[in-house]
Amino acid sequence: MAISVGDIAVRYGCRVAGDPDVVVDHVATLQSAGPGAITFLANPRYRRWLADTGASAVILEAGDAGECPTTALISDNPYALYARVATELSPPRTLVPGIDAGASVADSAAVPADCEIGPQAVIEADVVLGKRVYVGPGVVIGHGARIGDDTRLLANVTVCHGVDIGQRVIIHPGSVIGADGFGIARETDGWFKVPQLGSVTIGNDVEIGSCTSIDRGAIEDTVIEDGVKLDNQIQVAHNVYIGAHTVVAACSGISGSTRIGKRCMIAGAVGFVGHLEIADDVIITGQTMVNRSINEPGGVYSSALPMDEARQWRRNSARFRRLDDMAKRLRQLEKKISELSDD
Amino acid sequence: MAISVGDIAVRYGCRVAGDPDVVVDHVATLQSAGPGAITFLANPRYRRWLADTGASAVILEAGDAGECPTTALISDNPYALYARVATELSPPRTLVPGIDAGASVADSAAVPADCEIGPQAVIEADVVLGKRVYVGPGVVIGHGARIGDDTRLLANVTVCHGVDIGQRVIIHPGSVIGADGFGIARETDGWFKVPQLGSVTIGNDVEIGSCTSIDRGAIEDTVIEDGVKLDNQIQVAHNVYIGAHTVVAACSGISGSTRIGKRCMIAGAVGFVGHLEIADDVIITGQTMVNRSINEPGGVYSSALPMDEARQWRRNSARFRRLDDMAKRLRQLEKKISELSDD
Amino acid sequence: MAISVGDIAVRYGCRVAGDPDVVVDHVATLQSAGPGAITFLANPRYRRWLADTGASAVILEAGDAGECPTTALISDNPYALYARVATELSPPRTLVPGIDAGASVADSAAVPADCEIGPQAVIEADVVLGKRVYVGPGVVIGHGARIGDDTRLLANVTVCHGVDIGQRVIIHPGSVIGADGFGIARETDGWFKVPQLGSVTIGNDVEIGSCTSIDRGAIEDTVIEDGVKLDNQIQVAHNVYIGAHTVVAACSGISGSTRIGKRCMIAGAVGFVGHLEIADDVIITGQTMVNRSINEPGGVYSSALPMDEARQWRRNSARFRRLDDMAKRLRQLEKKISELSDD
């Protein structure tokens, strides 16, 4: 696959500074690019590599074009344009339709002929697959689950019974969709399991990383709306609702019945106490403990302390254990000084 | 499956306010329930939905009965009673005994005829299964492992060699029981692997969520006692001991050789430094770093700061980096004022 | 397998205090050891068990030899010597060469005859295995991946296409190597997937725990150097670089393009903001948020607060929310007192 810079410019409505007939056939980083490579500059951290790049073309913002030593493709959103071009140059692997002889597919499952079902995959009774679904090696789809067109379940994914997944969804290896939520009721001599009778509903264009868990609802469904992107190692508890186009970075955990709005950006290792409501467009920084609802859209929230050298850290954190006492002593001093000043 | 409210009351020893002949056949939430549904009120957060519920019956505490617009089942523990009723109305899927043709079962494995072994499951040599064990699709049971009666290993679970699991245990998809603990010994030019020669012993009535890891012991066993409930995405290191009926929420990590007492409640994303001892009935709140042993039973412990708006947060956390200095300055002020006052 | 203490001493160059003809045939802990057992004392926490040990021999430092009631093997590094001896007494299971009839191996895959390929394993096209590779049950190796000599991929591991793994690597169950990195570009109406075209390169003698994720690079590779040891439940994002012999404990998350030096020790649940550089020999304590680069080798860094009783904790953390205000008030007091003193 090869494409001229001019063709890219026409297709995506951006401007060329330099030779539009330059042809590119692969992507590379600024620092390692050679002839035939197209690259991009989006993060200012990497600007130092621009002047010496060996790329045939660079996608960048207008403000960086002056320093570009080669053909420039000028875009308001270089990273997104790069993503589009890279997808053209390296399209996802095309399906090889058919059911591998080593797969196990129930008679009552509906598997269109244009699906690819890998070796050791298991498709239980009454599963309904859409068109062009990819079911990777070792994937298990529980009875009655429904998978939309063009969705790809990669190796060793588990989709439990009754789960409903939309179109063009990608789920990476090792993730588990629809296991029982953590519902237990205290009794005098231990805990009694609360049946988890809801399911999971996942919209279109959702991507879910590796080793992520999304539990089924207790009574109603856990819901992941269209365009949500979840990274690896994430916990989504029962009856969570995640609004459209929200993204969640790795290692975050969302407790039960929490509702997150649209287009939120949740960084890594964030923890949500349960039963909260988070407004649209909220940003939460890494390792935050979200311990209350956020009603106002668009804010930025934090609770993780920045790192320090351990010796200094120990001193400060020891003081923290007496912070309430410090605050009281400060108040007393203020009173005393006020009295002294009055004298 | 359908049952009258009167029958529920008799079976579980609770009181009916309203018509005991009302029949229910499914569960629902307060806000979405319709005819034939039984629901419950346990979390005061949901009391606002009670007056308008369309349920045929509601399980609740005596204090809420006055506001119930329909038949009420009055219980001291509505959530537990709900769990019991929901289990009756929606019992777990019954086993379909037999070994799937696509499973791989070693000749020396003991698999009673009433077990169900799913497709692509692997049961290695000398494994011993109890009665009515469910081995889901893609499950791997390593050589010599023992699984008790009525235990269910769901899809893609891995049980490593020699692990001993009790009765009525449920392990959700993707979890790994008995992988090597993280034992490495420093040598001059790197690390040398310490053989992990213990195993994992899991008691009866334990439930383990999805994508959770429980490592085998270095010399002796990692032990999970009866009735323990572990959520998803949890790390249990080698030689941890978890006492009976303790519950651990998602994303928590328990370091090596930590001993946790009975009936503890560990919230999500809690981290334990290794080699600690935690008394019975201790409660630990979310994201706490448990950095010392807790000898007294029944306390509540924390270490995560509450979330704040990011701008305010940055100001406070910048001050934190000089907290020790602040404490010293406060002490000096106290001295000076004491001197001034003495004058 | 049995060995005399004298033979151990000769082989590893250490000193015997007591009878060198004592023969040991298994390992045990100090407190439970009986005849024939060899044990060790490395952690001072366990010294209290030394005097009463029933072991036939104890590996310990010279300073502890006086209190040893039985034959002592004196070493500067008792834990490493124990690891060597335990490996001799309990060597890893030997391979049973051959391809299980239930495995799925592509015709174009290169699988030497001395490899062991377990049931339900999947080896896709153009995979190249080294000598004596163990591919456990349910393992999936994607097309074009390369696995070095003596590497062991345990049950249900997923190695994605094109990944390159060195020699003597161990990957524990449920881990996923080479899934797509979390690359998404914001567009006006959602997110566009950025193709992840790099791969993962893993050196020799690496060990990776269970349920750990290592993502493939966006353009170039994610790199794990020789001798790195990763625990369970870890997230390694795209284009991370981890230097030789660095160890990372469970539940940590390393964000994209972070470079970590050699011989670092990262404790559990540590989170790294992306695009950082960490020098060699750095130690980071548990639950730290690493929010900036560390240029100086060998330091120790922290950011997690120690646990407190919850009531006290709430008081202190409430004060924290006004810490900036406290600091300003302290400054004002200092000024006032300075003025009063001047009077």
**Where exactly are the structural domains of chain A?**
3-89, 312-342
Q: d(Cα A144, Cα A269) in Å, to the nearest integer?
A: 33
Quote the pLDDT of residue B343. Answer: 65
Nearest CA in chain B to C45: B275
Q: What is the pLDDT of residues B56-102, one digit of tens each?
A: 999 999 999 999 999 999 999 999 999 999 999 999 999 999 999 99
Task: With beta carbons less than 8 A apart as the criterion, state whether C12 and B185 touch.
Answer: no
Which residue blocks in chain A are alpha helix, DSSP H? 5-12, 78-89, 310-320, 323-342
Nearest CA in chain A to B246: A190
Give residue B39's region: left, alpha or beta (phi > 0; psi -120 to 50).
beta
Whether residue C162 is predicted with pLDDT greater than 90 in this model: the reply is: yes
Nearest neighbour of B84 by CB, restricted to A183, A190, A192 = A192
Nearest neighbour of C268 by CB, restricted to B271, B301, B308 = B271
Nearest neighbour of A320 by CB, restricted to C140, C179, C305 = C305
How does DSSP assign C186-232, residue by residue? EETTEEEEPP----EEE-SS-EE-TT-EEEPPSSS-EEE-TT-EE-S
- Phi, psi for C105 (deg, rounded to 5): -120, 120
Interface test with B, best of C251, C321, C326, C328 (most B CBs within 10 A): C251
SS3 category, A9: helix
For B150-257, list the strands marked E by DSSP.
152-153, 158-159, 164-165, 170-171, 176-179, 184-187, 190-193, 200-202, 207-208, 213-215, 222-224, 229-230, 235-236, 241-242, 247-248, 253-254
Percent over 90 (pLDDT), chain C = 96
Contact across the interface for A233 and C233, Cβ inside 8 Å? yes
Q: d(Cα A225, Cα A203) in Å, to the nearest integer?
A: 5
Q: Which of C26, C238, C245, C275 is catalytic?
A: C238
Q: Which strands sit side by side in the sheet containing C222-224, from one edge to the other?
A: C128-129, C146-147, C164-165, C200-202, C222-224, C241-242, C259-260, C277-278
The number of C-alpha atoms within 13 Å of C163 and in the hemisphere containing its C-beta is 28
Q: How far is CA C86 from the centre of its chain?
A: 20
Name, in order, each residue with C-beta under 8 angstroms of A208's C-beta and a sequence gap of 6 or more.
Answer: A169, A170, A171, A172, A175, A177, A202, A214, A230
Quote the pLDDT of residue A1. Answer: 84
Q: Which residues of C touch A307 (CB under 8 A)?
A: 284, 288-292, 301-303
Task: With beta carbons less than 8 A apart as the criterion, state whether C335 and C318 touch.
Answer: no
Q: Subunits that touch chain B (at least 3 Cβ pairs < 8 angstroms)?
A: A, C
Contact across the interface for A250 and C253, Cβ inside 8 Å? yes
Burial of B95 (0-12, 13-18, 19+ CB in 10 A): middle
Quote the pLDDT of residue C341. Answer: 81
Q: Which residues of B touch A124 (CB under 8 A)?
A: 137
Interface test with C, best of A46, A89, A211 (most C CBs within 10 A): A211
Contact across the interface for A156 and C158, Cβ inside 8 Å? yes
Nearest CA in chain A to C335: A337
* Nearest to A60, CA basis, from A22, A10, A19, A16: A16
Interface test with B, best of A316, A336, A342 (most B CBs within 10 A): A316
**C152-156 CB contacts, 8 Å cutoff, 24+ apart:** C152/C92, C154/B158, C154/B160, C154/B179, C155/B122, C155/B140, C155/B142, C155/B158, C155/B160, C155/C118, C156/A138, C156/A156, C156/B138, C156/B140, C156/B156, C156/B158, C156/B176
Q: Which residues of C touch A118 (CB under 8 A)?
A: 122
Q: What is the pLDDT of residues C4-16, one digit of tens each?
A: 999 999 999 999 9
Nearest neighbour of C333 by CB, restricted to A232, A321, A337 = A337
Q: d(Cα C221, Cα C199) in Å, to the nearest integer?
A: 5
SS3 category, C306: coil
Distances (CA, A) of A176 to A25, B121, B153, C235, C275: 37, 17, 14, 16, 29
Contact across the interface for A191 and B232, Cβ inside 8 Å? no
Nearest neighbour of A156 by CB, restricted to B102, B118, B156 = B156
Q: What is the pLDDT of residues C301-319, one digit of tens each?
A: 999 999 999 999 999 999 9
Whether residue A342 is predicted with pLDDT greater than 80 in this model: the reply is: no
Task: With beta carbons less than 8 A apart as the criterion, state whether B211 and B233 touch.
Answer: yes
- A238 included as an active-site residue: yes
Q: Which of A143, A161, A238, A275 is catalytic?
A: A238
- Phi, psi for C34 (deg, rounded to 5): -125, -165
Q: Which residues of B touch C314 (CB under 8 A)?
A: 302
Instruction: List residues bridging with A265 in a β-sheet.
Output: A247, A283
CATH code at A3-89: 3.40.1390.10
Q: What is the pLDDT of residues C240-252, one digit of tens each?
A: 999 999 999 999 9
pTM over 0.90: yes
Burial of B39 (0-12, 13-18, 19+ CB in 10 A): buried
Distances (CA, A) of C103 to A100, B214, C120, C133, C280: 12, 27, 5, 15, 43
Instruction: Give A35→chain C minimum CA distance, Å.
Output: 16
Q: Which residues of C touch A92 (CB under 8 A)?
A: 195
CB atoms within 10 A of CB C263: 19
Quote the pLDDT of residue B1. Answer: 84
Q: What is the mean pLDDT of residues C219-231?
A: 98
* Nearest to A271, CA basis, from B249, C249, C318: B249
CB atoms within 10 A of CB B321: 15
Task: With beta carbons less than 8 A apart as the criterion, state whether C169 and A61 touch.
Answer: no
Give C342's pLDDT tier (boundaries 50, 70, 90): confident
Give C343's pLDDT tier (boundaries 50, 70, 90): low
Whether residue A209 is predicted with pLDDT greater than 90 in this model: the reply is: yes
Quote the pLDDT of residue C147. Answer: 98
| Exposure string for B44-61, b = 16+ CB within 10 A, e = fewer | eebeebbeebebbbbbbe
Contact across the interface for C316 and A324, Cβ inside 8 Å? yes
Give the pair of three-digit tokens for residue C66. Answer: 């006086």
Q: What is the pLDDT of residues B194-252, one digit of tens each?
A: 999 999 999 999 999 999 999 999 999 999 999 999 999 999 999 999 999 999 999 99
Give the A:B interface size as CB pairs under 8 Å.
Answer: 238
Q: Which residues of C touch A333 (CB under 8 A)?
A: 333
Instruction: Give B100→chain A minimum CA distance, Å.
Output: 10
Whether residue A229 is predicted with pLDDT greater than 90 in this model: the reply is: yes
Helix count and strand count (H, E) for chain A:
4, 39
Burial of C291 (0-12, 13-18, 19+ CB in 10 A): middle
Contact across the interface for A219 and B305, Cβ inside 8 Å? no
Whether residue C133 is predicted with pLDDT greater than 80 in this model: the reply is: yes
Contact across the interface for A86 and C197, Cβ inside 8 Å? yes
Q: Which residues of B touch C227 (CB under 8 A)?
A: 190-191
Whether residue A343 is predicted with pLDDT greater than 90 in this model: the reply is: no
Interface test with C, best of A90, A172, A232 (most C CBs within 10 A): A232
Query: Residue A29 has what DSSP assignment?
Result: -
Sequence letter at residue B126: D
Q: Which residues of A touch B306 (CB under 8 A)?
A: 289, 291-292, 303
Nearest neighbour of C229 by CB, restricted to B160, B191, B326 = B191
Greatest alpha-carbon pair distance for chain B in Å reads 96
Instruction: Give C224→chain A minimum CA distance, Å.
Output: 18
Q: d(Cα B199, Cα B171) in Å, to the nearest integer?
A: 17
Task: With beta carbons less than 8 A apart as the criterion, state whether C155 and C137 touch.
Answer: yes
Instruction: Give C232→chain B minimum CA distance, Å.
Output: 7
Give residue C144's region: left, alpha or beta (phi > 0; psi -120 to 50).
left
Q: What is the pLDDT of residues C52-83, one digit of tens each?
A: 999 999 999 999 999 999 999 999 999 999 99
Distances (CA, A) of A59 to A44, A71, A127, A201, B51: 13, 9, 44, 38, 60
Quote the pLDDT of residue C248. Answer: 98
Q: d(Cα A288, Cα B307) in Å, to the nearest integer?
A: 6
Nearest CA in chain A to C274: A268
Q: Which residues of B are catalytic?
A: 238
Mean pLDDT over the full length of chain C: 97
Q: What is the mean pLDDT of residues B144-157?
A: 98
Task: With beta carbons less than 8 A apart as the criterion, state whether C113 and C132 touch.
Answer: no
Sequence letter at residue C122: V
Contact across the interface for A43 and C275, Cβ inside 8 Å? yes
Instruction: Give A331→chain C minimum CA distance, Å.
Output: 9
Distances (CA, A) of B89 to A221, B8, B28, B35: 18, 11, 12, 15
Query: Residue A135 has what DSSP assignment?
Result: E
Q: Which residues of B touch C323 (CB under 8 A)?
A: 315-316, 319-320, 323
Q: d(Cα C230, Cα C210) in Å, to the nearest integer?
A: 9
Which stretch of DSSP H or E encloses residue C116? strand C116-117
Give A138's pLDDT tier (boundaries 50, 70, 90): very high
Contact across the interface for C250 and B237, Cβ inside 8 Å? yes
Nearest CA in chain B to A212: B211
Q: What is the pLDDT of residues A28-68, one digit of tens each?
A: 999 999 999 999 999 998 999 999 999 999 999 999 999 99
Give A204's pLDDT tier (boundaries 50, 70, 90): very high
Give the pair of three-digit tokens for residue A298. Answer: 């668009």
Q: Please, what is the end-to-end C-alpha distance for chain C in angstroms?
A: 87
Instruction: List residues bridging with C205 in a β-sheet.
Output: none
Distances (CA, A) of B156 to B93, B210, C211: 18, 10, 12
Distances (CA, A) of C200 to A39, C203, C256: 20, 10, 13
Interface test with B, best of C94, C151, C232 (most B CBs within 10 A): C232
Mean pLDDT over the full length of chain B: 97
Q: Which residues of B touch C337 (CB under 8 A)?
A: 333, 336-337, 340
Q: Which residues of B touch C174 (CB under 8 A)?
A: 158, 174-176, 211, 213
Quote the pLDDT of residue C340. Answer: 85
Distances (CA, A) of C217 to A53, A79, A97, C284, C290: 20, 16, 28, 25, 21
Q: d(Cα A33, Cα A54) in Å, to the nearest integer?
A: 5
Contact across the interface for A231 and C195, Cβ inside 8 Å? no
